[in-house]
Amino acid sequence: MLLSDSFESDLLRSSQTPKPHSVVVKCEGNGVNFVDHFDRRFKEGGLGWLCRSLTLRFFLFIVLLQTCVRGGDVNDNLLSSCLNSHGVHNFTTLSTDTNSDYFKLLHASMQNPLFAKPTVSKPSFIVMPGSKEELSSTVHCCTRESWTIRLRSGGHSYEGLSYTADTPFVIVDMMNLNRISIDVLSETAWVESGATLGELYYAIAQSTDTLGFTAGWCPTVGSGGHISGGGFGMMSRKYGLAADNVVDAILIDSNGAILDREKMGDDVFWAIRGGGGGVWGAIYAWKIKLLPVPEKLTVFRVTKNVGIEDASSLLHKWQYVADELDEDFTVSVLGGVNGNDAWLMFLGLHLGRKDAAKTIIDEKFPELGLVDKEFQEMSWGESMAFLSGLDTISELNNRFLKFDERAFKTKVDFTKVSVPLNVFRHALEMLSEQPGGFIALNGFGGKMSEISTDFTPFPHRKGTKLMFEYIIAWNQDEESKIGEFSEWLAKFYDYLEPFVSKEPRVGYVNHIDLDIGGIDWRNKSSTTNAVEIARNWGERYFSSNYERLVKAKTLIDPNNVFNHPQKVDGGSSCTGGKSVVDVDRDGESEVEDDVEDSAGESGAEGDTVGEDDVDDLSGESGAEGDTVGEYVEIVVSENERRL
């Protein structure tokens, strides 16, 4: 399905045409009749579980939350009235019937079975805006009526923070905001934040064979949250993070005001590109820089089943290769232990031809023992499907793919020095004690070492060698062992402590870990010194960039409308402060009809790698290959509202 040439202009106006994958809700009074079908695909075998292991994180405290906790000065009818009066009709409300349409929509982007349990908090409303104006009005109404907001793009929040809360809350589900406009001539794209990475990759692949984008490899991850936290992927050693390549954005602040890069200011534009999702406001769309790729590149995906001793040696050698290869080459590895043998899956991407890739591996990593047939040449788009464990490019465009249904908990580390051989050996021995445990290891270096630590909030740049991820997975019938699984993961994490970053032991906000701590926003005494409390995780995720994030939060959201247990806190929490946009009309924000040219001065500190100017947002897209992929229409009735 091709977009009209006017899409970039449509970004600045409300569009009344159905969106790709749009889900339709028809409201009748206070009742809702909607969604009796989702295009569900269950991927078995292959690398299906890999996607979830790298993008879904499960937490233990969630089972302690009350179902639909009520409290605070909120009123369902007032919110419904506000939404309807502002032209937002595509929403549903809490139902006690687990077979209802409400639960179908709630679970549509839930990748974790733990979140479906009756003991987990449920939203009172799920709103699905279909335009920039509807998103603005939704945020305005939730703020005015004192509702907690949870923004859900792809549903891959590692600790479930995009669809749980401990106060009455509203999920603003972005799945109908998934349009993508590719401009091959300017090598840029506008991406609505509800678009998944797979939808983005598919759109690019349908438009060009010589441009790509640097981001993660799981296709169902939402671009809104992924880019907000940084966005590491197989081309990060060549081009940096996804957030490093954002040239503009449209942000809805807590008042409902619509801000582009120039209007939000340097500090806020800097903060939204790596400072974490759901903190600064609602990202409506990103303007990203597309990146040169060869028409044919080389990939491999090879699993080695070897003894623990041999596996230890392979991992020990890999660490010296991973961050020292030419930036055009990335090799990542996953591993675990089955019985007496370890399995190591090596995934490689080389921005070059097969013969060159094989020559490099033979020289730098001969221990891997790859043969000619294991190197495969394909287009960049095909490589994104291949590395995700998918069979075809078209599968990238299916946001409702379902992968491994096991629950997960994860932790992450970064290293600055080499890890001794015996440490890899003992780690694998520990994995042999826990069949559900495995690791995912990524090399840094390349462009990641050239970008300054304060270019975006993501600080892990020069000097960072590797990123380690530790995962424990379990089936639903093993829930009685959750305590045992948690204890094992903590033990594994503690064992690695001497060999990873220190003072503090750093983390990654896209791998958010509530074990580090959190703020209970219901308890005012715990928010008295929230800036200092949040420093505990803020400096782990952002290092010295934390101070500038506090400044940005104070500017854009002084009343902490956008909050969760581990967000960056502003210096004026709940003091009645104003954001960077003045408020009028008895508290309503003045929503601009048009976003002006953002090519004005925006500050060198916030400029994106290789991008000196930001193009006029209102120009024609001019891309013959603009695409949004497959359109999934859910018919409810003759008079349905299509958003």
Walk along the chain (643 residues) in steps of 10 and give the mean pLDDT of each run. 38 38 39 32 38 36 31 78 98 90 89 78 96 99 97 89 92 98 98 98 98 97 97 99 99 98 98 98 99 99 98 99 98 96 98 98 98 98 97 96 82 98 98 96 98 98 98 89 94 98 96 91 68 94 98 96 91 48 38 33 33 32 34 26 25
Contact predicate 204/212, CB 8 Å: yes
Measure Cα distances from 372 to 60, 357, 480, 524 in Å.
45, 10, 47, 63
pLDDT of residue 155: 87
Residue 315: inside a domain: yes
Domain end, chosen from 511, 530, 564, is at: 511
Record the tokens describing residue 220, joined without a space.
Answer: 């169902």
Domain of residue 139 covers: 7-44+61-173
Token duo for residue 58: 């499960």
Tell me the CATH number at 156. Answer: 3.30.43.10
Pair 330, 477 in one domain = yes
Which of 470, 488, 511 marks a domain boundary? 511
Q: Are β-strands 282-289 and 297-307 bridged in parallel, bridged antiparallel, or unpaired? A: unpaired
Into how many domains does the chain fold?
2
In a domain, 85, yes or no: yes
Residue 603 in any domain: the answer is no
In a domain, 70, yes or no: yes
- The CATH number for 486's domain is 3.40.462.20
What distance in Å separates the CA atoms of residue 358 and residue 370, rounded to the nearest whole number? 8
CB 536 within 8 A of CB 517: yes
- Please give the helix or strand (H or E) that residue 26 lies within, else none: strand 25-28
631 lies in a domain? Answer: no
Inside any domain, residue 2: no
Q: Can you read off the two tokens belonging to residue 396?
A: 């990238």
pLDDT attached to residue 525: 58
* Residue that is last in its domain, among 511, 546, 561: 511
Look at residue 359 in the predicted model and tell me its pLDDT: 98
Gyration radius (Cα) of the chain, Å: 23
622 falls within a domain: no
What per-residue confidence (pLDDT) applies to 613? 32
pLDDT at 160: 85
Is residue 279, in this structure, part of any structural domain at all? no
Regarding whether 301 and 169 lie in a shared domain, the answer is: no
Do 161 and 302 belong to one domain?
no
